[in-house]
A = this chain, B = another copy of it.
Amino acid sequence: MPKIPQPPLDEVDRSIVRVLAQNARIANNALADEVGVAASTCLARVRSLRDRGVIRGFQADVDLSALGMPLQAMISVRLRAHTREQNESFRSVAPGLPGVLEVFHMAGSDDYLLHVAVADSDALRDFVVDHLTTHPAVGQTQTNLIFERMAGSRFPEPGR
């Protein structure tokens, strides 16, 4: 996903993004009303925002419990060695491992942080054993259960 230039966002663009960040399925004309432009203008703006990569996509927020994966965990991963090759080999597979929601490449002593969802603690152990500790680039891992995940703002504004 190339980073296309950066014509900075004007107020209308920011409003569009703010609304879509919270309600991605709003009809185009309702969105146009909300941000105060014509429907056709709004359509073009949204298209442009997508083309420029400001809006990457639209996603449904799903209750993972309802999908049978009620348990979440945060797994710190430390690589055996911090070479470019090891990083590349881990980063290329991590996001696709089953149940992985997010992968963070960290600046601290732990190289990666994996946010995962699993069916139960057995599945969690299997995940760690089958996909992490057996991966040649992985040194140590540490697993921490998540009691609860709360969503913050999806359209962060500079804190004053």
Contact = CB atoms under 8 A, between A and B. Distances in A.
Interface of A: 3, 6, 9, 14, 17, 20-25, 52-69, 74, 91, 94-108, 110, 113, 115-119, 123, 126-127, 130-131, 144-160
A151 B102 contact: yes
Contact of A60 (B17, B96, B108, B144): B17
Q: How many of these chains are in the complex?
A: 2
Contact of A104 (B23, B95, B148): B148
Nearest to A103: B150
26 contacts: A3-B65, A9-B67, A20-B60, A21-B59, A23-B57, A23-B58, A25-B25, A54-B62, A54-B63, A54-B66, A55-B63, A56-B61, A58-B60, A59-B59, A60-B154, A64-B156, A69-B156, A97-B152, A98-B158, A102-B152, A104-B146, A104-B148, A104-B150, A106-B146, A107-B147, A127-B159
Contact of A52 (B57, B61, B66): B66
A58 B61 contact: yes
Nearest to A119: B158
